[in-house]
A and B are shown apart, each in its own frame.
Chain A
Amino acid sequence: MSSADVSNGLHEELEALALRNRARAIGVALHDLETGLRFSLRGDRWFHAASTIKVAVLLAVFRAADEGRYRLDDSLHVRNRFFSAADEAPFRLSQDRDATPELYAAIGRTAKISSLAHAMICGSSNLATNLLLEFVGVEYSRAVLREAQVEGVELRRGVEDHGAHEQGINNEATADGLLSLLSAIRSDFLTAQSKGEVIRILLEQRFNSMIPAGLPPHATVAHKTGEISTACHDIGIVYLPEREPYITAILTEFDPDTEGRRETVAAISEAIYRSLLRTDQ
C-alpha cells in the first residue's frame, strides 16, 4: 500500500475515532523512520502542553550539562517555593498532585540533577520540574528550543503556576512541534551520552496507559504523557525489534470529566501502528 493511501486511510480513521469518543479536538503527528512517511492531522493546532512540556525542560537540562554549566551528578536544594511567571508572587506545589512523594521527603536537603530529571519524566513530578526549570531558567530553555530548531513548543512557565494560568500564560504545543522536539532528542543536538541518557529516562516512563496500550507487548516506548482537566496527550518514540522506530505525538482535548480519554489516545496509537504495518507489507 502506498504512503498516500496509508495517510488517507489513517486520516479518516482518526477523524472517526475522535468523533466516536467525543474528543473536542485531536492533533496527531507521525514520522516513520522505516519508510520516511510523515503524517500530520491538525499538527499545527495549539494545545495546552500539560506535562509533555517536561520533555522540553529535559532537553534544556541535558543541553546545559553538555555545555559544562554543571554536572548531572551535582546536587540541587529541594525547596517547595517558586515564583509565578505572572507577577513573581511565590507559590507552592501541592504534594497530593505529585506522583513522587519521596521527593517531598527531601525538602530542605538536596537531590542530584539526574535524579530530578528522572522524577520529572518517569513520575511526572511537578516539584522536580519546577526545581529544574528554575535552575536552568525559562529563557535559557526557550533558547535551547530555538537552537534545536523546535517550533511549535512554547515554554513559558513552570507547572501549577495558577497565577500565570489565570493571566493566560500557559505552556502550549502543537503535535508537529512536539514531534520535532522528539526528533531533536534523536538527532546529534545533544552529545551521544546525553542523548542515550535522555532516551533511557523516557523509556522508564511509569504511566503506560496511552501510546504503549495501543501496541503489541514487544514494543517499547520512550514517551511522556500529559493530562490536565481538558487535555490528554502522549508523545513518544516507538521501538519495534522488526523495524526502525517511529515518532508520534498524539494530542487530544475533551470537555472536562469526559471519560475514556486515555483510551482514545491508546486507540489512536493502535490505529497508527496498524497503518504502519500496512506500509511494511
Chain B
Amino acid sequence: MTTEFLRPIDGLHLAEEYRGLLRPGESEAGTDGAVHPLPRFFYEIGSWEQAHEIRLTPHFTLAELMLVDCREARLLLSQFPHYVPCAILLLARFLEDFRREVDAPVFISANGAYRSPAHQIGGAKSIHAWGTAANIYRVGDTYLSDSRSIQKYRTIAASLGPAVFVRPFGREKGQTSDHLHIDLGYVRLTPRECGEAS
C-alpha cells in the first residue's frame, strides 16, 4: 500500500474527544516562547496493519513514524483510527534523503517521530507534535550514543538543506546524548483538496 490510500481529514471536523487531544489549528507557544499554530490537517489511519502497509517512501512506513508508548493519550494509543499530521510526508521524504546519504538503514525510536499534543513527553510544546521531527537512535549497526557518532550523522543531516535543524551532542538542555534529533521546523501541510476556511 502506498500514500495514494491516505485520506486527509480536517481536524476541525473531528469528534470533540479527538479535537480536545489533537487541538487542530490552535496556537501554542514553544519552549522558546514563539507561538505556532498546531497542525490542522491529518491523515486518518484505520489500523496498525494499515500503518505498516503504508509506505511513505521506499524505506519508511507510516508505522515507524507513529510508534509511541503509553505516555500517549489513551484514546490515541489503543484505539483506531489514529491521526497523523499531513506534514509527516515531508519528514519521511527527508529521512529517505538522509538514508540515501548514509547508505544504511535508519532507525527511529519509539516516541521519536509524531507525538500528539497530549503526549506526556513535551506535549504541544514539542515540535514532535507537528510530525516534522525524528529521533534517530541507530544507523546501520551504529547506536547513536556517543559524541563521535552523533556529530558524524549530525553533519550529514544538516547538509541536506537549510531548513533542517539538528540538535548537537551533549548532556545539557537542547542537546542529545542517546539519539540524533532532526526536525524541519513548524511546517504545516494543507492538502490540495482541503481548504483553510473554518
Count chain A CB atoms within 10 A of each CB in B69, B77, B145 and give the residue with the most: B69
Is B186 positioned at the interface, with any CB of A under 8 Å from its CB? no
Q: Is B109 an interface residue (CB 8 A)?
A: yes
Within 8 A of A (CB), among B59-113: 67, 69-71, 77, 107, 109-112
Residues of B153-198 at the interface with A, using a CB-CB cut-off of 8 Å, are 171, 177-179
Which residues does chain B contribute within 8 Å of A113, judged by CB atoms? 70
Of listed B77, B110, B112, residue having the most chain A CB within 10 A: B110
9-residue interface stretch from A77-85, A144-152, A244-252: A77-85
Selected contact of B110 from candidates A70, A71, A80, A109, CB within 8 Å: A109
A277 at the interface (CB under 8 A from B): no
Chain B residues within 8 Å of chain A by Cβ, number: 18
Residue in A70, A74, A76, A92 whose CB lies within 8 Å of B145: A92
Within the assembled complex, what's the spacing in Å between the Cα atoms of A66 and B61?
36
**How far apart are the CA atoms of A81 and B77 in the complex, in Å?**
24
Is B137 interfacial (CB-CB < 8 Å)? yes
Q: Choose among A71, A75, A107 the residue that contacts B137 (Cβ–Cβ < 8 A).
A: A107
Main secondary structure of the interface of B (DSSP, over half): loop
When the two chains form their complex, are residues B171 and A74 in contact, meaning their CB atoms are under 8 A apart?
no
If A70-B70, A92-B145, A110-B69 touch, whether A77 touches B171 (CB-CB below 8 Å) is: no
Known contacts A108-B137, A110-B110; A80 and B145 CB within 8 A of each other: yes
Knowing A81-B178, A108-B109, A108-B137 are in contact, say whether A76-B70 is a contact too (CB < 8 A).
yes
Complex partner residue of B109 from A75, A79, A89, CB under 8 angstroms: A79
Q: Is the interface of A mostly helix, strand, loop or mixed?
A: loop
Q: Which residue of B lies closest to A91 (CB)?
A: B171
Q: Which residues of B contact A (CB under 8 A)?
A: 67, 69-71, 77, 107, 109-112, 137-138, 143, 145, 171, 177-179
11 A-B residue pairings within 8 Å (CB atoms): A77-B111, A79-B109, A79-B178, A80-B178, A81-B178, A92-B178, A108-B110, A108-B112, A108-B138, A108-B143, A108-B179
Closest 10 CB pairs of A and B: A74-B70, A108-B137, A77-B110, A108-B109, A77-B69, A81-B178, A110-B110, A90-B171, A76-B69, A77-B111
